[in-house]
Structure 1
Amino acid sequence: MTNKKSYSRYFIIFQEDDKGFAIESDKPPTGYAKIENKNGRSKVTFYVQNLLVEKGPYTACLIDATKNPPVVAKLGNININENGMGETWWEFREDDIANTGHHIDRFNVACVLTQENLFPLSGQVGRENTNWKEKLLNLEREESEQKEEEKEEKEDTQEAKKFEEYEKAIKEAIKNIEKEHKEDIKNEDEDIKPSRQIKEGDFAKVFHNILKDLEEVKIETEFENTRWWKIPLERPYFEPKYMPYYCIIYHLLLAYPYINYLTWTRKSGYYYFGIKYDDDGEIDYVIYGIEGENNPKDQPFFGATGFRRWVGFQDKGMWVMVYNPWTGMII
């Protein structure tokens, strides 16, 4: 006895959905999706008429609206002629429609999609209506947000590379100063071993040279004998590698912290950089300030990375991190 080959066929009738795509005002768009299953293969045919060809291209879609988020199978574009008619078909394995890994029986919505994410035609299997458009719009919103996050992450990574160059330049400058003045000290008195290998004031000179073209601001705070500079995040014709940024902080627990601090500094477009001097004019420690209100929302990482103190000045305020460049530790 010969087994009968399995075969099934059904239609999803289209109704006009989003308006404005009819070729004539008294003839709304119509059509159907025909689904034929035979021996493990599915042939999906979309037929449409009365669609404005100039508002295309039109994409044929099957949707499993029972899922949240819904599963969308974009089959391809429908070929429309100048009379607003078109018929196009696609063939897939019935258990993997348009590379979704989804069986044909799971799809309960068929629709025609435009580039503006509008639906001139749509239809559903059965009489029960599902709120598939709202689910689909939520999915598109999530995908858009994800793309925006990926874009920001890519931008932050590029910024990170630029600021990493600055960190290397600073370390190289300090290394050269150490080498030069270590020789001088050795020649003067071999018995003297200073606690700092950099001659007093020389480390400050490195920073002053970097900061010379930036805006110095007067900020009255509890930190005495301190100078402050305002560091804008975007400055044309300025080499980022010479910008005193968070990457100067080298600490095992703070790998490239400046990538995430951009979330807070972008609000104002700048941050503050302060130098606290000792009695001899050398750097005692440096201070980073991020403008914000005295509340947890504006405090970077709730203080976990060193921004634990809020300082008020004039009619503003900022969260500050105090850093010792001699020891590489946050105070």
Structure 2
Amino acid sequence: MAHNKLYRNFIILQEDEKLQSPNGKVLSGYAKIEAKGDKCKVTFYAQNLKKEDEYSIVLICNKKDMKKIVDMGPIKVSDSGKGEAFKEYYVDNIAGLEFGYEKISGAGICKKGSSKAEFMLYGFMNGEKPQEGWKSSELIKCDDKNVNSKPKEYLKETKKETKKKEDGCGCKDRDNLSKEFEDYERSIEEETVDPNDFRVKGGTGDYFEGIAKGFSEVKGCFKEISYSKWYKIPVKDIEDMCNAKDVDKYTVVYYPMLNYYPYIIKHGHFMMGYKCDKKGNLKYLVYAIPGKKDKYDQPYVGKSGFVTWAKCKDDEEHGYWLMFYDYKTSKVVVPSK
């Protein structure tokens, strides 16, 4: 059923725990699902794939009334190992199989050449924990002949309008579908948020806000970094940073900081921040290690990305060394300001 609200969900794709990484490099990526009106767009991005192998993008439906893995087709891989793909459907006709986007639980990238889905990367919405055995769900393929057809119920509701816009078979060409979705995207108007008190927006925000649960939020720490949220991560010993019981929390919070334990343990904590734009959309993860503004406290003299120093509140002597991390591309970035 069509709706006027914008629906967005961001899925972090992680390497399968039983996988041996191609080229010895860790696989990473994301999937994004957006719905507005009667249109739904699914976007995939991944890196460190092998160009000589063939991969498919899939949706994971792990609901009580639908347990399927939907193969939506191939994803192109560049010479550098990056893969990108997107698909556009009607909200009630995902992959031409006449089910709604609300049935989607997760997404993944699989290696071709098997009757069963051989996952390279996968992830679930909002840190959802799937039931055991979900990988053995039936694998079904996209119905390419039916992907641009509107569901029968929708056609009944909009009979007069569709006669003007559609041909006799009730189908629209892919270019028009793409243009209409882009028009919806441009028409979205989002209000700005309070720079000192806000929640990170969208499905991405739900995921990362969930990661931060259990940590103390520190407000007003870095005044020069606007639209950011900060959390204090206590560390008593190395065991605190090696606890992988919560895989998502370990992957996002602790694993990237393991190499900096000698710097962290001196102060018994580090900080993690979410740097957002003025609308509350997440741009970067930021990791902060306590220390003075000198090379002795700067982690590895900045060679690993900790190149920005910021004072905490009004303390001119003590502050933090910061590393900005683009979670979409899995790369360390250096802020221009």
Higher helix share: 1
Decide which structure has greater strand share: 2
- Which of structures 1 and 2 has the bigger CA Rg? 1
TM-score (norm 1): 0.39
Q: Which has the higher contact order (CA 8 A, sep 6+)?
A: 2
